[in-house]
Structure formats: C-alpha cells, structure tokens
Amino acid sequence: MLKIGIDLGGTNIAAGLVDESGTILLKKSVPTGASRPKEEIIDDIAALCRRIVGEHGITLSEVQAIGIAVPGGVDEKSGEILFTPNIPFSGINICEILSKKLDGKKVGVANDANAATLAEVFCGAAKGADNAVMITLGTGVGGGIVIDKKIYSGSNGLAAEIGHFVIQMGGEKCGCGRRGCFEAYGSATALIRMTKEELSTCFMTGEATLMAEASKISARTSFDAFKKGDAAAARVIEKYTDALANGITSLINIFQPDVFIIGGGISGEKQFLIDLLQPKVDAEDFAKNAKKRTRLCTALCGNDAGIIGAAFAV
Amino acid sequence: MLKIGIDLGGTNIAAGLVDESGTILLKKSVPTGASRPKEEIIDDIAALCRRIVGEHGITLSEVQAIGIAVPGGVDEKSGEILFTPNIPFSGINICEILSKKLDGKKVGVANDANAATLAEVFCGAAKGADNAVMITLGTGVGGGIVIDKKIYSGSNGLAAEIGHFVIQMGGEKCGCGRRGCFEAYGSATALIRMTKEELSTCFMTGEATLMAEASKISARTSFDAFKKGDAAAARVIEKYTDALANGITSLINIFQPDVFIIGGGISGEKQFLIDLLQPKVDAEDFAKNAKKRTRLCTALCGNDAGIIGAAFAV
C-alpha cells in the first residue's frame, strides 16, 4: 500500500508518495510561505497531496494514509500540533483539518526529527533495528528516539530534546536558556565557535594556519584543514569530537540502542567522523565489554528522511 | 493470580508472594552467602519459593509465575544473566535453571533497579503512569526506565545506566572510569564529599558549623544541619541540589516521562528534597510551558520494590 509523507519545513513543504519499502515514487515541493495565514498553507498541503496522486495516475482512495512531519512538538494520539516556533501551526489539530480536506483520509503527525529517525530505522542506516537514537548536528542538535520500532515522544509529545541535556554545568550559554547543553558543544554552530576561538589564539601567537585561509569560516573549515595536516585544526577537531563523543557515550549509556545515528550537516563527514568518534566512545561506553554493542553510524536518508518517516509514522 | 517476586541482593535473598495489586501477602528472606558456589545459592532460592507457598497454604501450581530481580545486566528475553559484579551469576540462564527446580514454572528475570521502577509504576509513586524514569541516590546513582508500562533495558539488557551520563566534562572521577558522571555529583557519596570539602574550608576560615558537630559525616549531616539554619550546610545543599536538579532536568528533557521518581537513601528527605529541586527543574525544563509536565516525586515502595517489581516484570 502507498502512503503520502509530508515534510513541513519553515522554507518548503515537500511531499512524496512512499511505498512499503520506503521508496519515494514521486516527490513534489512548494514554498511554505510561513508568514501567510495557516489556512492558506494547509490548502497548499492538501493541493500538493492531490497533485502527487494525480501525477502518479492514481486516486486518493488508493492511498492508505497521510503522514506529516512538523518542526515542533506534537501530540501524536490526538493529532494536535503543540507548538511550532517557525510556522503558525501551534495549537491546531492538523490531522483533523487535513483529513477533512482530503476525503476523510487518515492523517498522522510526528515531530520531524523523530520522523527522520523512524525513516533511518525502516529503510536507512538503522534498517532492522528495534531501538535507535539519532542526533542531527546542524545549527542546533536535534534528536529522535525510536523504541520497539515506534517513535518515543514521551508523555507530552516533547521528549527527545537530546540537544538539551547538560554536559558541562555552568558552561556555554545555550539557546534554550540552560548553560552547557550538548547542543552548545556538539552542533555545527559550536564547531564554528571553536574554530574561531582557535584562530584568534593562532593570530595572537603568530601561528599561520590553513584554517585562516578559508574565506568564510564554516563547520567544514576545521575538518578540511585538519585533513590537510593543519595542527591548529587538529586541536579544534580534537576538542569538538571529544565533546561530541562524550555526549554520544552518555546517550548510549542511557539507551544502549541497536544503532546510534548521526545526521545533519556534520554527518557529511561520514566514516571520517565515525573513525574519530569510535575510539572515544569505546573507551567510555558502560557496555564496552558486552557481547552486543551499539553500532555508531551516519544517516543515510538525507533530505528525504522527513517524507519517508512521516509516511511510516502513520 | 499470585506471583512470587524474588529480590536477589548481595547480602540477602528476599522473596514474597505478590497479588495482582502489588500487595505482598507473605515475605521471607535468607542470607545470600554470595561467596558460595552458585548452585547452593540457586538451591536456596528454590527452597525459599517452596517455603513461601507452603507457609501460605497453597501449592506451586497456584502460582502464575516467578520473577527474579538481580543486581546486574540481564537479557530478559533469553533469561540469561549477563553480569553481576557482586554475585557469581554472570553468564548463567537463571530462568531455565530455576524453572527446572520449580516444576517447570515460568521464571522471568530483570535488573533490580528496573524492577524497582516497574514496582513504582504499578503500585507506587508513579501508579497509573505509562512512562517513568527513576534514579536511586545511594552509594552510586542507579536508574530505571519504564516505557509503555514495560521495562526498557535497551538492545543488550544494559540500558538505563542513568548514573553514567556526564554532567561535567573533565570533572570528578567516577567509579565507571569516566569523569564528571551524574553519579559523581548526585549520589549520597557525592553529598558526603561535598560536606567534607565545605567543612575543611570552614575549619580554615575558623567558621564553626553545626555540620562539624556530627560525630560521623553521612549523607544526612548537611540536610540535618541545613534544617537547623547552618549557613555552611546551606551552601552544601545548594551545591548538591544544583547538580542533582541539573541531571534530573536533562533526563526530563530527554524522556518527558509522566513521572520522575527519586529513590534510594537520599529520597528519605521526601517532600523537603522535592521542594528544593522543583524550582530548579522548573527553571530549565524544556517543556516548562507545556500543558502536561513531568511530575517529580520520591519513591514509595521502599525495600519491597525489588520483590514487587520482579513479580510484575514476569
């Protein structure tokens, strides 16, 4: 049976027709226009669903269900969106509204990071796993938890805020208001901060570095310079991966999942990143001597994870 | 239906006949004698089960199942004990062996901290909850996770090592080999360390304190002196509850459970402890503005939690 998965982002609404294996048969997207009234945005979502089935030459009745992944907290049972900081959907029951516009079709909702984790479990890096934890390393650190092949979102739909456990009491200020959160050390933003800090030290000591040649500092700057043998970049990468591995090991000690997945921009470093992290995790994993250990890997579903996960969540 | 719950400890084996409500109808215990061969210990466990049903005037056939809680890692599905640091049971299938000795009766196994959490969910502080997280503050920090009214022990039976996520990178040395674990700041042992550190400062400054009058420093010393208005003790309790609340808030941000339970020796401070922790958690909980928030409370099942939880786990 086919499902429609929708990834509702702050910039674009992407939707796809997804089969049982997680393959996207047809994909379309439109701009979100997040500043518009929510009614207009929802009409666009419904139109996108009808367009997809039409272009694939089927009718809506041939679609089993529709899943929508949203960037915010949701109540999966009731279908209500609890809050979405970047789109005007807080407090509405997206499932009821969308179902009415789409011939009473069953509609389910999930948080986008949770949906992405589910996608990895059904057809990505954690295929076949029962339990998986995923972090996405981007502007912040997002997270998703899958237990027994189901999204775990806690008792209020707001669980898996994996970026917001403290790894350094009194440490760097985090956007959530706390100090020392994993996000403040493990995100791409944190890596950029560490790169700039190291560069300012290098300028003071007069040490020239390959990092300094970058026209604009990004999360790739230190990784690229490190690969070319830059000593200052090596210090940055050591510091960053120390903190990242520290947080990952803590989460493994709590969850001992089959698979721990790293997604987001930084995960583009793929096996190079895993090879840096694995020995650090090995040294401190509480289950390091266990017969079965958590496998650490990078995500595979990429930008399609939201669409696929939304389809599997419903 | 009745079940037998067994709490296999390093010092004593306690077993009870438990009814559907979680009430222990009859309870007996014998010394573990942990240095003896495992065969002798298992024979004692079997004999204890037979003695309990005999003294209650029923037969083993009237018992639905037997659950055993052990201080270590277990594979609940296979019935194997993965490791038990303090009793010689690592690598044996306790369920198979005990079942053979007890007329083929169904036997299940669980980690003791996980079993205690399950007991709180079925008939204790978290009664009625679907999701609960528990920490036990004693010599170390133990933990248990219950999701959808079932123990969560990860993919290798070793999850819920909640004492071993780092809250202070590079901080206090922990028994597990890491630095800065929650256990190294939240345990009774940590509170005693903080009390001694504060006292040594007080001696240097010549400040006399009620804490110093204690003949022997325990985890109660600072709490008792704080209640009597001791300024130095107030500093210790502030430091300790800051770290404790920090770790608890991180776990709430990850799990958003219905209930977060504090057990172990320190939880004897009951509401006094909760009143100290709650404002600190309120300030940093990611879901502080949510309609439904995690309830923070102390454990209710006490020493019987292992017996009751073992019975509910099978």
- Does A217 share its domain with A278? yes
Nearest-angstrom CA–CA distance, B62 and B54: 11
Closest Cβ–Cβ partner in A168, A243, A284 for B177:
A284
Average pLDDT over chain B, rounded to an integer: 94
Using CB atoms within 10 Å of the CB of residue A232, give its burial: 0 to 12 exposed, 13 to 18 middle, 19+ buried: buried
A–B CB contacts, 8 A cutoff, strictly below: 137
**Tokens 């007996």, residue?**
B28
Mean pLDDT of A120-147: 96
Query: Is the Cβ pair B154, A168 closer than 8 Å?
Result: no
Q: What pLDDT does A122 receive?
A: 96
Name every residue whose Cβ is closer than 8 Å to that of residue A175 and which is 6 or more positions away in sequence. A140, A183
Q: Which residues from chain B sit within 8 angstroms of residue A164, using beta carbons? A: 250, 253, 286
Backbone angles phi, psi at B88, to 5 degrees: -80, 50
Query: Given pLDDT bands bounded at 50, 70 and 90, which one contains residue B110?
Result: very high
Nearest CA in chain A to B82: A290
Same-domain check for residues B15 and B138: no
Flag if B73 and A290 touch (Cβ within 8 Å).
yes
Q: Closest-CA residue in chain B for A254?
A: B160
The percent of residues in chain A predicted with pLDDT above 90, rounded, is 86
* A11 Cα to chain B: minimum distance (Å): 25
Task: Report pLDDT for B246.
Answer: 98
Instruction: Yes or no: say if B258 and B132 are a contact pair by the CB < 8 Å rule.
Output: yes
Assess whether pLDDT exceeds 90 at residue B103. yes
Q: Check whether residue A287 and residue A216 sit in a common domain.
A: yes
- Average pLDDT value for residue range B132-153: 95
State mean pLDDT over B248-265.
97
Q: What number is the average pLDDT over the span A207-227?
A: 85
Q: What is the mean pLDDT of residues B122-141?
A: 95
CA–CA dist A300, B202 (Å, integer): 57
- Residues from chain A that touch B157, judged by Cβ atoms under 8 A, are 256
Contact B82 A159 (CB under 8 A): no
Cβ contacts of A32 within 8 Å, gap of 6 or more: A8, A9, A10, A11, A12, A13, A41, A87
Is B172 found in the same domain as B38? no
Average pLDDT over residues A23-27: 97
Judging contacts by C-beta atoms under 8 Å, the chain A residues touching residue B160 are 254
Rg, Å, chain B Cα set: 21
Residue A33 has pLDDT above 90, yes or no: yes
B136 burial level (CB within 10 Å; 0-12, 13-18, 19+): buried
The minimal CB distance from A154 to the residues B131, B176, B247 is found for: B131
pLDDT of residue B208 exceeding 70, the answer is: no
Q: Which residues of A touch B249 (CB under 8 A)?
A: 166, 178
pLDDT classification of A208: cutoffs 50, 70, 90: low
CA distance A82 to chain B (A): 8
Q: Do B83 and B217 belong to one domain?
A: no
Pick from B253, B291, B293 the residue to mutate for testing the A interface (most A CBs within 10 Å): B253
Summary mean pLDDT of chain A: 94
- Are B111 and B170 members of one domain? no
The enclosing domain of B98 has a CATH number of: 3.30.420.40
- Together in a domain, B111 and B159: no
Total domains present in chain A? 2
Instruction: Report DSSP state, residue B62.
Output: G
Cβ contact, residue pair A243, B169, below 8 Å = yes
Backbone angles phi, psi at B178, to 5 degrees: -80, 175
Residues in B closer than 8 angstroms to A129, CB to CB, are 155
Domain co-membership, B114 together with B145: no
For the cut 70, the answer to whether the pLDDT of residue A34 exceeds it is yes
My answer on whether B143 and B243 are in the same domain is: yes
My answer on whether B176 and B291 are in the same domain is yes
Is the domain of B132 the same as that of B115? no
| Range B70-75 average pLDDT | 90
How far off is chain B from A292, nearest CA to CA, in Å? Answer: 6
Q: What residues make up the domain containing A104?
A: 2-119+304-313
Q: Are residues B141 and B113 in the same domain?
A: no
Chain A residues near residue B153 by CB distance under 8 angstroms: 256
Spell out which residues of chain A touch residue B134, defining contact as CB-CB under 8 Å.
none
For residue B290, give the nearest of A82, A177, A290 by CB distance. Answer: A82
Contacts of A250 in chain B (CB under 8 A): 164-166
Cα-based torsion angle of the residue sequence A226, A230, A235, A239 in order, rounded to the nearest 10 degrees:
-20
pLDDT over threshold 80, residue A284: yes
- pLDDT given at position A290: 87
Position A86 scores a pLDDT of 80
